[in-house]
Structure 1
Amino acid sequence: MSVQNVHLIAAARPNFMKVAPLWHALAAAADFRPVLIHTGQHYDANMSADILADLGLSEPDFHLGIGSGSHAEQTGKVMIAYGEVASAHRPDWLVVVGDVNSTLACAITGVKLGIPTVHLEAGLRSRDRSMPEEINRIATDAVADILWTPSPDADTNLAAEGVPADRVTRVGNIMLDSFEMKRPAIEAAAVPQSLGCNGRGYGVVTLHRPVNVDDPAQLGRLVDCLAELHAELPLVFPVHPRTAARLEAAGLDRRLAAAGLRLLEPLPYIRFMSLVSGARAVVTDSGGIQEETTYLGIPCLTLRESTERPITIQQGTNRLATPDDVVDLLRAALASGGHGEAPARPEYWDGRTAERCVEDLRRRTR
């Protein structure tokens, strides 16, 4: 039996959570060998390095060390660096995940080298082309050979774009594989208790999108909103490095602290999910947290005009929010009872996505 080498690309914090279950499933298979490649797009320890340990991943086989830069700089540097690795250590398969610059850069590079290329989490669309991630999604799906989708809406999007059905396999939501894989450690971490949040309700905040944090006026509006929300429900805010820099530059970090919000450094995956799992509500502009809160039945208010994960609204607990209505939406969510007893979960959001990915690779290898 020949062993197929599979390059797995990780660049930013959410990528590791998507790559980890697939890495473990491939490592356990006799006919595949995973090769982990970290492009270095996120290089803060809490945003990437600590997650390796949390998710049971070995050190990357290759670290490209790209670092920060403009979209063009990051994309170009990743294409050059990954092209050198892929040429010298040619894989049988390349799997890119999510929607960051490294996703598109490696997909283009792999396809041009004639490497069968798979996009995990394909077909998601926000319809907002001002988001760099939306451009990355569209372009990656256009060039990749195989598209692994998380939900029926993604299948529908790809069909509408003329993608042949034989290129698409719905495998489910691999983020939730990571949660189930680490559920015992998440429950044992007891982060709410360590922060003194046990026995009383609290909410979790995450913000990092440029549209929300780069303009000091918009960021100031959101800070005022968070202060008002905090009066309704005590808030814990693990602050993304990008957001921390913007808050400090505008002097808004002091306003948040004065309002009483609990500001934390970014948390590694297990500790973060321990915090989220105990929350009565979440306020975010992230993508993955919309999915995790849907899975857990926790009300989620997403501070964006659109979402590439509409299934979390149609079938889950997510609601789009603005600074004008987020306080009222939080009150309504809290009045509805918080945690759902039996949250509705889309098909294949079951912790077994990685198994389906491996089986699809195996089927396409025969």
Structure 2
Amino acid sequence: MQGQAPTPDGQVADAVKDNWVDRWAPAATRPYLRLSRADRPIGTWLLLIPCWWGLALAILHNGQPWLEDAWIALGCAIGAFLMRGAGCTWNDITDRDFDGSVARTASRPIPSGQVSVKGAVIWMCMQALIAFGILLTFNITAIGLGILSLLPVAIYPFAKRFTWWPQIFLGLAFNWGALLAWAAHTGSLHPAPVVLYLAGIVWTLFYDTIYALQDAEDDALIGIKSTARLFGENSPTWLRRFLVGTLVLLATAIVLALMPDANPLVLVIALAGPWAMGFHMTWQLRRLDMDDHQRLLHLFRSNRDAGLIPLAFLCVAILM
């Protein structure tokens, strides 16, 4: 499918309606904020939520919140915004020749001519350096993990060119915060955050397959691989598998973090989170229509709420 021309005011085709960038940001900054997907905040949420999962689970594991946890939570939020922006900028730099051929992405700042490649590189480095400054406020284990996270971030944009499972590489990058935030609180790693990390990866396979279904036709024309193309009409079956895998791994991570001395009430409340998340993901599957692109985008964005559900239960468990 031939790419769509950008709108006269430079808005991106799949941006959130009446978003703050298009309404309030100074005109000169809008192309760069669009490059960072600031007009589409769902990606920041999906990067941040595993961080908060990891922090909440670490607090439950230790049995007490610390004052510095407030900064870890805030630092993760700012860092997620910045690193999501840097990662999206890197993605658009590497995909600039593909994006102009896909209807949904042709209006992005680089293919539409709003930002030069040189300008995008400078913008990416600025965001990454600020995020690195925040990372340096954490302990040495978290700093090391933060630096290591650059590897899956760097690889992801190329994954769809050599594997049918690029969503795994996205999951590796997007859920790294589960490990980092746990380490920022405890100073070390444990089986619980590793299993939590795996749960996040399977969740990413769920939501990003839904997202990729929007582009399946265009991706086939230009030779881009994805799980949506791989699964085809069997996508709902695979999504159900990812749903179950997410819940089982998330529940396992909670048990590993709380056992063997868990308060039974705390354990029950914490484990209610994955089940409640499962109801939301089931609702998504019931609403799934692979031919309705607007619905697919809506369902993809609803995963912010899906991910916040178990976090809410973990927070209640912390207060018990």
- When normalised by structure 1's length, the TM-score is 0.27
Bigger relative CO (Cα 8 Å, ≥ 6 apart): 2
Pick the structure with more helix per residue.
Answer: 2
Normalised to the residue count of structure 2, the TM-score between the two structures is 0.29
